[in-house]
């Protein structure tokens, strides 16, 4: 089987993006409780959110499995087996940290067997391929949040568990449930905590994947940057691994 590799991020066009992390948000909260000892001048004053919360990071490669014209829909799981994954992705402007409403957040990822719709067989497994499963996106709400339901991804040869992401603005929704036009602001990837992925990989649905799993530390794309590189904050949806997880992240983009 021919291995399809993803180009390292140094070979792609870069944009400045940011991630607001829980640690820096906590720092902001502590700082706000400390009495001021001086008054900033016009030269030194910096917006609080930008100074204390926003951490800049780079884009990541689109990879070989992107398909145009996918559906705008909140649930992309279709009939794929796997544990539930509830994503809440917040898009903000990198200059002001203000939320971006009506931005289309589009994701795509492989199923438990490491197969992408439209490319089934590339990871060595045979299954039906309709070209749409585990692909799609939604418009952000007034708070800049895109809520998407999927399943926890599997893995394919040479890559750790991840989800691909694009952010578009000014798209036009089409009558067939897809979108067209607009401006692409960001291309990136979302990553998963290795401890949780190890538990998920032991479940029967994922253990059926015959390809050796690449860990975060072994991955050629993830740079161990934590939330600044797309590492999701994962929260259990129940008392067992099979109940699934909620995943959150705040992603900032250059909107102008």
CB neighbours of residue 219 within 10 Å: 19
Give the helix, strand, coil percentages of the chain, each rounded to 5: 15, 30, 55
Confidence at residue 95, expressed as pLDDT on a 0 to 100 scale: 79
Q: Return the CA Rg of the chain.
A: 19
What does the alpha-carbon distance between residue 177 and residue 71 come to, in Å, rounded to a whole number?
5
Where is pLDDT greater, at 187 or 95?
A: 187
Query: Which letter does DSSP use for residue 154 in this model?
Result: -
Model pLDDT for residues 111-160, shown as the tens digit of each residue: 999 999 999 999 999 999 999 999 999 999 999 999 999 999 999 999 99
What does the alpha-carbon distance between residue 56 and residue 134 come to, in Å, rounded to a whole number?
29
* Of 12, 94, 113, the residue nearest 61 (C-alpha): 12
Model pLDDT for residues 193-236, shown as the tens digit of each residue: 999 999 999 999 999 999 999 999 999 999 988 887 899 999 99
Distant-in-sequence, close-in-space partners of 194: CB < 8 Å, separation ≥ 6 = 215, 216, 217
**Tokens representing 36?**
């001021």
Phi, psi for 159 (deg, rounded to 5): -130, 145
Where is pLDDT greater, at 254 or 167?
A: 167
pTM assigned to the model: 0.82
**83 CB burial (10 A radius; 0-12, 13-18, 19+):** buried
CA 160, 162, 165: angle at the middle one, nearest 5?
Answer: 145
Confidence at residue 255, expressed as pLDDT on a 0 to 100 scale: 80
Helix (H) or strand (E) holding 207, with range, is: helix 204-207
Percent of the chain with pLDDT over 70: 77
Handedness of CA 152, 157, 158, 163 (dihedral sign): negative
* Of 206, 204, 243, the residue nearest 84 (C-alpha): 243
């Amino acid at each position: 089987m021919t291995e399809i590799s993803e180009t390292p991020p140094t070979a792609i066009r870069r944009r400045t993006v940011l991630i607001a992390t829980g640690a820096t948000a906590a720092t902001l909260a502590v700082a706000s409780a400390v009495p001021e000892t001086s008054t900033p001048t016009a030269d030194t004053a910096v917006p609080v959110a930008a100074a204390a919360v926003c951490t800049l990071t780079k884009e990541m490669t689109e990879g070989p499995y992107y398909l145009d014209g996918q559906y705008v829909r909140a649930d992309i799981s279709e009939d794929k087996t796997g544990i539930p994954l509830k994503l809440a992705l917040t898009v903000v402007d990198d200059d002001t940290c203000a939320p971006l409403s009506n931005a289309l957040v589009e994701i795509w990822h492989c199923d438990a067997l490491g197969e992408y719709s439209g490319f089934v067989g590339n990871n060595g497994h045979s299954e039906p391929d309709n070209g749409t499963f585990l692909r799609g996106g939604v418009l952000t709400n007034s708070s800049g949040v895109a809520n998407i339901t999927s399943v926890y991804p599997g893995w394919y040869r040479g890559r750790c568990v991840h989800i691909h992401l694009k952010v578009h603005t000014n798209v036009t929704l089409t009558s067939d449930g897809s979108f067209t036009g607009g401006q692409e602001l960001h291309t990136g990837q979302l990553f998963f905590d290795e401890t949780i992925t190890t538990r998920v990989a032991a479940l029967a649905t994922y253990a059926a994947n015959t390809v050796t799993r690449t860990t975060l530390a072994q991955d050629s794309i993830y740079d161990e940057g934590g939330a600044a590189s797309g590492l999701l904050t994962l929260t259990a949806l129940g008392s067992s691994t099979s109940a699934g997880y909620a995943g959150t992240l705040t992603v900032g983009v250059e909107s102008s």
